[in-house]
A = this chain, B = another copy of it.
Amino acid sequence: MVALSLFFFKALGLSMQRKRNGYNDTDVPTLADVARLAGTSEITASRVVRNQGPIADATRARVQRAIAELGYIPNRAAGSLASAASTLMAVVLPSLSNIVFPDVLRGIHTAITETAFQPVIGVTDYDPVVEERILLSFLAWKPAAVIVAGLHHTATARRYLERGRFRVAEVMDIDGDPVDIAVGMSHHEAGHATGRHLISRGYRNFGYAGHMIETDDRASARYNGLRAALQEAGLSLVAEHRTPGGSSTKIGRDSLEILLAQHPELDVVIFPNDDMALGGIFHCMHAGIPVKEKLGIFGFNGLDIGQALPMPLSTILSRRFLIGRTAAEKLLESRVRPEDKTIINTGFDIIEGETA
């Protein structure tokens, strides 16, 4: 139907106004084309498109018919330029390699799904310099809001975040001074709680099997919190092993094997996240080590897969979906940055599980 109408429209010699300077020689319809077909001014058609201002029902219907007939798609570049603000929400995350950040993303989606906002996603691989680069390239599109992970950024990135005329949510972490809004949990506290929990369970010979991303600030904060808790109890880490690169189940498995080879006296090993802890459990299964009785295993995140294990993983639940949703909701509350900064603690839960 649409195609047919378009055909007649052109066949009747009513073809859309040619673009003037020739380099846009397509027949992509513009708002002017819609207005002409609907018999209104451009600005009225624009109001219908944006559902803004008072429009007579009959006019609205005519414009909407014209839009459908032409297959008109608004040019957001033009709209953004004219109104000095876009409907984009820039989302800059460290990684998409495990479910954690996709969960945050789903939360964001949920919050903005009924609004005009569109998320634009960038991935930094935990590199602050990459974060800065991506951030600047996103700022070139004049986003209405920015969501970034964590409170640590390059000086330049921080400056742009502070000066920009957009809302900013820093998610996951609340240990620090946010630019505008911070939504997340204290990873130091989570590490501390891990330590206290395991001590109360009777574990004494603590090992840590981590990765070597120094820029994974939150894993570092949990590690420090854990050490603090041990120290308060007069204990300390007996051993730790760090594997270069990122985190994965395979690396967790290999790390635990190496760690135990050198330190068979360990009675519990903490991993920076569930993915690696799972690898630890797989190693124990393979090596015939009774998990919990002989060796406790503790993770972080509370992923579904850890809870689907024959023995549910002992870990800490981070509320990732809630963090994403809350951050986006807060950003939508007001277009202008308020005087006061907001810090929202979404907390965490210890999942006792059966592995520690």
Contact = CB atoms under 8 A, between A and B. Distances in A.
Interface of A: 3, 23-24, 26, 28, 71, 73-78, 80-81, 84, 86, 96-99, 102, 105-106, 109, 118-123, 136-142, 159-160, 165, 248-250, 252-253, 275, 278-279, 282, 285-286, 304-305, 307-310
A123 B104 CA distance: 13
A250 B118 CA distance: 31
Given A75-B142, A97-B106, 7 more contacts: A23-B84, A76-B141, A248-B308, A250-B308, A275-B305, A282-B308, A285-B310
Contacts of A250: 304, 307-308
Nearest to A74: B140
Contacts of A279: 308
23 contacts: A28-B165, A71-B160, A73-B140, A75-B142, A76-B77, A77-B81, A77-B86, A81-B81, A96-B102, A96-B106, A102-B102, A105-B123, A109-B123, A118-B120, A118-B122, A118-B137, A119-B122, A120-B121, A250-B308, A252-B308, A253-B308, A279-B308, A285-B285
Contacts of A278: 305, 308
Contacts of A310: 282, 285-286
A102 B97 contact: yes
Given A140-B74, A250-B308, A309-B282, A96 B86 contact: no
Contact of A119 (B3, B81, B121): B121
Contacts of A286: 310
Contacts of A119: 121-122
A313 to B, nearest CB: 11
Nearest to A105: B96
B141 A77 contact: yes
Contacts of A253: 308
6 interchain residue pairs of minimum CB distance? A96-B102, A77-B80, A76-B140, A286-B310, A249-B308, A121-B121
A278 to B, nearest CB: 7
Contacts of A78: 77, 81
